[in-house]
Amino acid sequence: MPSQLFSPVQLGSLALENRVVISPMCQYSAVDGSATDWHLIHLGNLSLSGAALLMTEATAVEAVGRITPGDLGLYSDDNEAALRRTLEGIRRNSEIPIGIQIAHAGRKASSAAPWNGGQLVPAGEGGWRPLGPSAVPIHPGEPAPDVLDHAAIERIRDAFVATARRAIRLGFDAAELHFAHGYLVHSFLSPISNRRDDRYGGSFENRTRLALEVFDAVRAAWPHDRPLGVRISSSDWIEGGWNVEQSVELVHMLKQRGCDWLDASSGGISPDQKITIGPGYQVPFARTIRKETGITTLAVGLITEPRQAEEIVAAGDADLIGLARTVLWDPRWPWHAAAVLGGQVRAAPQYWRCEPRGVRDVFRDTEFGMR
């Protein structure tokens, strides 16, 4: 039978050639939020992978919304100009659709890069005060985040819209709002981090208010001929925290508001999380959300083998497969998966002659002509 992983799929109004998506992956290599040569090399390399969609890393809506001082941002004219140069370089050499993940780190901001320990960088040492729904620190002994008042919440909502408008000008083909991994919007969703007693805390309705307000505001600004998706943490992996049942209810509301796809991740709210990690450990969340809501769903998390990815799509557990560390290890993973599964991928003509002996017809013909 033809490969399901390498069958076309519609993501909102965007036609994708296969089901493989390069997930957002922070590189901690920006300068004052602006992309550098590293981003051109990194994203340019992955743009030639044969995947159907390339997502940029989490892109902050304001300077204090960066996870680290090296995070990418799209909150200034300088940020926009630098990212334009990166995108123009990629587009001269690749036809891959490119999406942006729009984010705010919230109480997990002002952290050191992972290779420097990842701990909170104090204000005065190159860091700043993180922001959150409540005065609940990530780690015991760390300073608590500054608590957002209603004016600050409105400012951040508007910052998401401003970043989306910049992304529109840059011609991104899709956008994903980052509501996962303990970052700002997730920290409002989860009762682990949200201890508020106003209209943004307490009940499920109140805890989801910011997520829906941000989504509605960006959806109103984002062109309807370009898909808009959301990444959530489907579970906190903590008793009494956010769970998959609440995720399903939230996704129902997002879908009704025009959400085109759901990226089903998990965790990140607290070091107390108890995650059972194994191959495809987050796929059950994607399966449940897809079954209960009917939304186009992206599965992520230790999906490393071609036949594993094929089985997830063929079983109807997810519509799309997101690759992150796997594709850093093997930037031509879609080529190799196509060879195993009998699929075809788009490849630059400069690479057409590289198929190993015994491997045939992985590269499909493109507008550049026949081989």
Q: Domains (ranges, CATH) in the chain? A: 9-342 (3.20.20.70)
C-beta of residue 224 within 8 angstroms of C-beta of residue 240: no
Per-residue pLDDT at 138 exceeds 50: yes
User: At 303, which amino acid appears?
Assistant: I
pLDDT at 343: 95
- What DSSP string describes 267-311? --S-TT------TTTTHHHHHHHHHHH---EEE-SS--SHHHHHH
Residue with tokens 């989490």: 58
Question: Can you give the pLDDT at residue 368?
Answer: 40
Residue reference for tokens 């449940």: 288
- pLDDT for 144: 94
Residues labelled catalytic: 183
* ∠ Cα 99 105 107 (to 5°): 165
Q: What is the mean pLDDT of the chain?
A: 95
Q: Which residues contact 342 (CB under 8 A, 6 or more apart)?
A: 2, 3, 6
Q: How confident is the model over 264-275, as pLDDT tens digits?
A: 999 999 999 999
Using 50, 70 and 90 to split pLDDT, how confident is the model at 371?
Answer: very low
Given a cut of 90, whether residue 27 has pLDDT beyond it is: yes
Say yes or no to pLDDT of 286 above 70.
Answer: yes
**pLDDT at 131 exceeding the cut of 50:** yes
Mapped onto helix, strand or coil, the DSSP state of residue 107 is: helix
Structure tokens at 91: 């587009």
Q: Going by C-beta distance under 8 Å and a sequence separation of 6 or more, which residues neighbour residue 203?
A: none
Least confident of 229-233, 259-263, 365-369: 365-369
pLDDT at 16: 98
- Mean pLDDT over 96-120 rounds to 96
Q: Report residue 66 as tokens.
A: 């960066």
What is the pLDDT at residue 369? Answer: 37
The count of C-alpha atoms lying within 13 angstroms of the C-alpha of 69, restricted to the half-sphere facing its C-beta, is 13
Asked whether residue 367 carries a pLDDT value surpassing 80, the answer given is no
Q: In this structure, what token pair is assigned to residue 60?
A: 């902050």
What value does the mean pLDDT take over residues 66-76?
A: 98
pLDDT above 90 as % of the chain: 92
**Given pLDDT bands bounded at 50, 70 and 90, which one contains residue 107?**
very high
Task: Give the model's pLDDT for residue 365.
Answer: 60
356 confidence band (pLDDT: 50, 70, 90): confident
141-184, pLDDT tens digit by residue?
A: 889 999 999 999 999 999 999 999 999 999 999 999 999 999 99
Q: How confident is the model at residue 140 (pLDDT cuts 50, 70, 90)?
A: confident
- 112: tokens are 């050191």
